[in-house]
Structure 1
C-alpha cells in the first residue's frame, strides 16, 4: 500500500462518523491490501508504531526553516494539530517523478536510518507528496492518527473480516509484532495460531450491564452474589514465567504507571480486579488515583502519597489452568484458596455482601453514597467468565444521583479567566452507532484537569464551526446531573438538568460509553421541559 492510498483510507475514516461505516472501511482494507503494508497500517490504527528517532521536534525544525514562525504559531493555534498544520503549510514543490512511497519503505527507513539523516529524508518525502498524503505520512511519524478509529475498533474489524470472535484476536495480540505476518497467515488459514510462548497477554474482560427497575423485579436473591462497585479502574493482572503485565480494561499496558503492583506480581496467574488508592485500609477518592494515571515517571514521593493496591474480583487462570469456564461460585472459591496460598502484597479480596432478599440488597445499595462507593455489582452464581458485555449474567447497580458515561463531541473557549482555555464541553451518547449530543457542561473539573482537557482538545480537533471545535470521539466523561427530561430542542430528544463533569474516564474507550436508552430509562414518566424551542 502506498502512502497516498493509506491517506485515502484515513480521510474516509474521518468523514465516516458511524462506527459500522468505519468497520466496513477497515474490513475492506484488510481484504484488498497485501503484506506487509496492511500489517503496518493495522499497527498505525492500533497505535503500535513507535519510532525512536523520528520525533515531532524534527518536524518543527523542518517547517521552521520553510515558514514564518509567527504565521506558523498562529496557524497551529487555529488548526490545533501539528501534523495537519505542517501538511497544509509545507511549500508546494515541482512535480516529482519519484515512484509512490510505500508504508513499508517509510517504516523501514525510520527504523534504520541514522537520526542525523532523517530531516533530509522526511523533507524529500514531503516535497514529493500532496497535502493529503503529507498528512498521512506526518501522522505515521508522530503516531497520532486521530481519525476516530481506536485500537479496539481495528481489532474488531479484523475479527469481523476473519469471521472470529474479537477475544481470539486479543489473546494473541501481544504475542505478535507489526507487521503481523503470522497473525494474518493464521486468519487466512495459511499458518498456525500464533503462540505467545509464555508472554503475559491480555484476555478480554467480562463486563456488566446497568440494572434498571424492571430487571430488579425479575431477580431471585438465591441466584445472585453481590459485591461493592469500587470507584477505581478495572485492571487485569497477568503474571508467569514469561513476565508480568498490568492491563487496563481496554488492553492497554499500564504497568509503568504502577511499578509497586508489578513488583508484587510474583505469582503465576491471571486475576481480575480494581486498582485503587488505599491509605490505612481506606479507599481514597478517585481523584487521588487520577494523580497516578498515565504517568511515565513515578517518583518515590508519589508512591508514598498515593499508594495503590488492587482489590481482587476474580481468578481467570491459576497457573496454566483456564478457570473461565467454571461458574462464578467455583471461581470465587478458587480465588479465595489462591489468595490464602499466595498472599500477594498490595492486594486483597473484594468481599461478598451477605443478603437474604433483593429488598435488603436495595437498602444496602442506598447506603453506598454515604460510604463513597459507586454502587453494587451483581453476579449470577452460575455465570461463566464470558468476554464482553453479555446482558444477564452480571449487573452494575449504581448509586444515585444520576450519571452517564458520555463522549466529548465539541468544545468552546470559556469566559473571563477561562477565555484562553477550551472549558465549555458538549457531550453525547450512542444511539446505535451514531453519537448524539445530550448536554453541555463547564464545571466539575479541577484546574489541573482543565489544562489537560485544553491540550487534549487542541491536539484532537477534527473540525471547526466558528468558535466551536469538533473533536475526535476519543474521550469519555462521567457526567452527573439532577434530572433528565424529554426535549424537542435537542437532537437526542433529551435534556439534562444541571449537568457537571464528575470525572474524566481516560481508562474507558468511547465505544463503551452509554447508549441513549440508558439515559431515557432514567426519565420520570410524564416529565417535559417547561419551555420548548
Structure 2
C-alpha cells in the first residue's frame, strides 16, 4: 500500500503526460502480481466497494477528532479524504501497513459491521500519504490527472503492443489482470476475453484548415455528413457464451452509459441486431425533430432515469458508421463500403430510434461552403439548429483508432466557438457568493515539453442555476490548489472539464499572457462527454484572428 500511495502522490504532482506514463510503467514493471493489477484497477476506476462509503469515513473521523474542528476543517479543505488524512490521530505501532491486495480483498468481503474497525486499523498503520491514498481508494475519487486511457498506455509501455491493442482486450477482463500484464510484456498469449460487447477505440477528426487543406484535397475523394449537436456513442450488441443476448452503450471515452438510456437499450435488444457495433450520435428527437443539446443534458450523467424523463426527452441514435456486423469486423473496409453496409443494417433493424446520418452531396469545396453556411436551405427537415457543421470523410478511409492525418475532418459552422478546458474557478458575488461561478479556461498550445494549456478567457454566464450547482460541485471535487478565493482545478490531457465557449470576437492583446482577448465570452454548454485532450488548440484562435483582421 505504501508503494501505491507514493505512486499516487507523485502522479498528483506530475504535470506532464509522458512523465505520468513513465511513473506508472516503472511501477508496473517493478511491482509483482496481484499488487500491480489492483493498482491498475484503482487508477482506471474499476473498483467499487458496496459497504465502504464516505459516511463511514466521516463516522470514523467523528470518533477520533473533535467534530466541530473536523467540520470547520472539512469546509475549508473541501475534500473528505484529505481532511481525514491530515487530522487522523494515528495510534502508531498498533497495526502494520496493509498490502494493496489485502485492502481490496478485505473491502470486497468484509461485512458492514466489521469494516469500520478494519479501516481504522489501516489508518493507524499508515502515514499521512498512505492514509490519503487509502481513503481515495475507498471513496473512488483519486483525481490525480490519470485517465483509463493513460493507464492503459503505461501498460502498453511494458512490451511490444500498442495502447489500442491493450484497449481491445481490456473490456472483458477483471482485476487483478495477471493475463493482461503477461500479454503486455510479451510473455503470455492474448487474453481470451469474455466480454461480448467490447468498446472499440473511436476514430477522430482534425479541424479543417480552409486555406491549406482544401488546396491539397480533392472533393471527389470525400463524402460529407452533417455534424450533429449531441454526444458520440457506440451502440453494441453481442452474445454471451451461453447464447444469451448482450447489449451495451458506451460514450466515446469508453464509459458504460447503458443505465441512463433504457429506452435505447430496449431497441438494442429487439433481436434484429445480431452481433453489431454502431458508431453514432446520441440525440433527443421529438416528432421527428432533433432537440437542442440542453434537452439531451437532461439525460446525461445519470445512473438511472425516471419514466417521466424518458417520456419528456426520448432518446435517439443517429448512426454514421458501422464497426461490426453479424460478427464481422468491418473496420478494415473503406468508408464507402462500410456506409453501404450501414445503410443495409439500419434498413434491416427497422427501428424508429435508430436512423442514418444523411450524406450531403456536393461538387466542390465552394459549394460545400455554401451548404455549411446555411444548413436550413440544404437540409430536408427542421434540424438545422441541431447542426454544428460538417464532417468530411475520405471514401477510402479505413476505421483506425485515434486521430490519423488526412482521413477525417470537421468543419464547424460557428467561427467564434471553441472548446476550452476549465483551469481556475472563483467564487461569484451576490446570490452566487457561495458558488464557484467564474471560470478561467484555456486551450492547448505547443510547449517545450509537449502540449500545455494557456488561459485565453474567463466566463461567468451562459449556464442555468441547475448547471451552476453541477459546476460548483465539479470545482470542489477536483481542486488541486488554492490561491485565496481562487481554486485551481485539475486540467490535464487526461482529466478535467471541457466548456464550449461562445464569444463575439477576438483581439490581440499585450495585457493578456496568451496574447489574445475575447469579447463577451460565455459558456454555451458543458461538455461532460468530451475528453480534455480533444479541446481546441491555440492555432484555432490564430486563424480566427487572421479571418477577423
Aligned residue among 426, 429, 434 for 2:443: 429
- The secondary structure found in structure 2 opposite 1:522 is helix
Superposed CA RMSD in Å reads 1.6
Contact 1:225–1:352 (CA under 8 A) maintained in structure 2: yes
In structure 2, what is the equivalent of residue 389 of structure 1?
403
Identify the match of residue 237 of structure 1 among 210, 235, 238.
235
Name the SS for the 2:136 alignment partner: helix
* Corresponding residue number in structure 2 for 1:54: 52
Change in CA separation of 1:34 and 1:433 when aligned onto 2, cut-off 3 Å: farther
Give the CA deviation at 1:498: 1.6
1:356 to 357, 363, 388: 363
1:219 aligns with 2:192: no
3-state SS of 2:193 partner: coil
| TM value normalised by structure 1 | 0.95
Counterpart-to-counterpart distance in 1, 2:336 and 2:385: 26
Which residues of 2 match residues 77-156 of structure 1 at below 5 A? 77-93=75-91, 95-96=92-93, 98-156=95-153
Structure 2: how far apart are the matches of 1:512 and 1:98?
Answer: 46
Which runs of 5 or more structure 1 residues have no equivalent in the other structure?
A: 528-533
2:292–2:385 CA contact under 8 A, matched in 1: no
- List per-residue Cα deviations over 1:335-371 (Å, max 9, x = no partner): 1112222223410011101111111110010014863
In the other structure, the counterpart of 2:432 is 418
Give 1:190's match in structure 2, choosing from 155, 175, 187: 187
The 5-angstrom pairing of residues 272-287 of structure 1 reads 272-287=279-294
Q: Name the CA shift for 1:497/1:467 in 2 (closer, same or farther; >3 Å).
A: same
| 3-state SS, counterpart of residue 57 of structure 1 | helix
Partner of 1:444: 462
Partner of 1:255 in structure 2?
A: 258
- 1:181 paired to 2:168: no
Aligned-partner Cα distance in 1 for 2:548–2:254? 42
1:11 aligns with 2:33: no
Q: Is the 8 A contact 2:160 2:186 kept in 1?
A: no
The whole-number CA distance in structure 1 between the counterparts of 2:506 and 2:36 is 45
TM-score normalised by L of structure 2: 0.92
Inter-CA distance 198–469: structure 2 relative to 1 (3 Å threshold): closer
Deviation per CA, 1:188-233, whole angstroms, max 9, x where unpaired?
2232211223521000111101112221333322111011000000
Describe the superposition over 1:368-397 as per-residue Cα deviations: whole angstroms up to 9, x where unpaired: 486341000011111111111112100000
Q: What are the superposed Cα offsets for residues 119-152 of structure 1, whole Å, 9 maximum, x if unpaired?
A: 1011111112111110000001001101111112
Is the 2:155–2:181 Cα contact (8 Å) retained in structure 1?
no
- Equivalent residues of 1:211, 1:397 under 8 A apart: yes
Gaps of 5+ in 2: 241-245, 377-383
Question: What aligned pairs does 1:362-373 form with structure 2 within 5 A after superposition?
Answer: 362-368=369-375, 371-373=385-387
SS of corresponding position for 1:216: helix
Cα 1:526–1:175 change in 2 (3 A) is closer
What is the Cα deviation at residue 525 of structure 1?
A: 6.7
Alignment deviations for residues 223-263 of structure 1 (CA, whole Å, 9 cap, x no partner): 11011000000000110113111010011100000011111
> Displacement of 1:526 after TM fit?
8.9
Alignment check: 8 A CA contact 1:368 1:374 kept: no
Residue pair 1:219, 1:358 contacting (<8 A) in 2 also: no
Query: Pick from 523, 529, 548: which aligns with 1:501?
Result: 523
Runs of 4+ aligned structure 1 residues displaced above 4 Å come to none
1:70 Cα deviation after fit: 2.8
